[in-house]
Amino acid sequence: MTHELDATGLLCPLPVLKARKRLRALEPGGLLVLRTDDPAAIIDVPHFCAEAGHHLETQAEDGNAMIWTIRRG
């Protein structure tokens, strides 16, 4: 099952903090699709995944937003 989190309109570190909270609730291997529009997320989300042991599956643009698919480690 894939879970979604819309963090548009939030400035970093809030998208990462909300993603961390949501990922904690998932089983290892679970997927979270995160939507952000803060330009700092381009640095913060990959760094968070690497530090927390999660796998950044995909990163895509959708207009002004970025869509991140994160697999819980």
Catalytic site positions: 12
Q: Answer for the pair 24, 64: CB distance below 8 angstroms, yes or no.
A: no
Hey, what amino acid is at 32? Answer: L
d(CA 73, CA 31): 10
